[in-house]
């Protein structure tokens, strides 16, 4: 069988794989956030063990399927599987994107620092914020390393970047519903910041072709929002 035929067959299987993965992924995560996690919380209580268990579940459900699919369809991705872990990124680019996301997520913290009303979050603990160690890995593996990587044609594919940002927004819905913040996220226009983050993260990934860069920046971004509070 010729290489061209093999490539065509693999390509024809990528779209069904994307659709099936997305359906299973969103369905399971909605069930986890709205049904399974609350039930487990009643049994395990809000302990470090529960936080560790939840982080392991997210790694298992988010990272492994996404990376396995990315590896299988590596030749059909915008950034090959091996490349997105080995592509070199100039230090100036790391600093630039870190500043961009710092200003987006921590601009109000910077103003608060000058005003003297920036404080360390007194509720910041390992138990309550263990998720910070995995959130960058899990969310970027799925949304940039796989979903965007498998659909974008180039680094300026704005349609796929926007779609990826909207899909990134949608995965937050179950958590917002469970916490009772779904309506306020829209009435307060907080949902726009999630889409903006997703689009910028996509641009960063497609431009530098390095998944680890955006994983680091994602963790840095969330840490700023959680560790420092204004008030």
| Domain segments of the chain as ranges | 3-230
For all residues of the chain together, what is the average pLDDT? 91
pLDDT of residue 33: 95
pLDDT of residue 8: 53
pLDDT digits (tens, 9 = 90+) for 7-35: 555 567 999 999 999 999 999 999 999 99
DSSP notation for 147-169? IIHHH-SSTT-HHHHHHHHHHHH
Q: What is the largest CA-CA distance in the chain?
A: 69
pLDDT of residue 37: 95
pLDDT of residue 11: 62
pTM of structure: 0.91
pLDDT of residue 12: 73
Cα-Cα-Cα-Cα torsion 219, 207, 5, 71, nearest 10 degrees, comes to -20
Q: Are 48 and 130 in contact (CB under 8 A)?
A: yes
pLDDT digits (tens, 9 = 90+) for 149-160: 999 999 999 999
In this predicted structure, the answer to whether residue 77 has a pLDDT above a threshold of 80 is yes
Tokens representing residue 124 in the block: 């910041």
> What is the separation of C-alpha 121 from the centre of its chain, rounded to a whole number of angstroms?
23
pLDDT digits (tens, 9 = 90+) for 183-207: 999 999 889 999 999 999 999 999 9
Q: What share of the chain is helix, strand, coil (3-state, %, to 5)?
A: 80, 5, 15
Cα separation, 22 vs 191, in Å, equals 21
Tokens representing residue 180 in the block: 């009772």
């Amino acid at each position: 069988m010729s290489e061209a035929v093999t490539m065509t067959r693999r390509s024809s299987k990528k779209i069904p794989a994307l659709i099936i993965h997305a359906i299973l992924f969103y369905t399971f995560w909605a069930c986890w956030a709205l049904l399974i996690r609350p039930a487990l919380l009643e049994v395990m209580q809000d302990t470090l063990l529960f936080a560790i268990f939840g982080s392991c579940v997210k790694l298992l459900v988010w990272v492994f399927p996404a990376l396995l699919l990315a590896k299988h369809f590596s030749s059909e991705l915008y950034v090959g599987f091996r490349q997105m872990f080995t592509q070199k990124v100039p230090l100036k680019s790391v600093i630039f994107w870190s500043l961009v996301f710092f200003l987006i997520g921590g601009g109000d913290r910077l103003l608060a620092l000058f005003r003297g009303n920036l404080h360390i979050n007194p509720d910041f603990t390992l138990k309550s914020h263990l998720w910070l160690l995995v959130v960058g890995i899990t969310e970027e593996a799925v949304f940039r390393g796989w979903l965007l990587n498998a659909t974008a044609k180039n680094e300026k594919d704005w349609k796929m970047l926007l779609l990826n940002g909207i899909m990134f927004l949608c995965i937050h819905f179950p958590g917002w519903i469970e916490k009772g913040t779904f309506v306020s996220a829209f009435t307060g226009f907080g949902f726009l910041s999630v889409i903006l983050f997703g689009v910028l993260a996509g641009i960063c990934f497609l431009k530098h072709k390095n998944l680890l860069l955006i994983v680091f920046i994602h963790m840095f971004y969330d840490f700023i929002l959680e560790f420092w509070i204004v008030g």
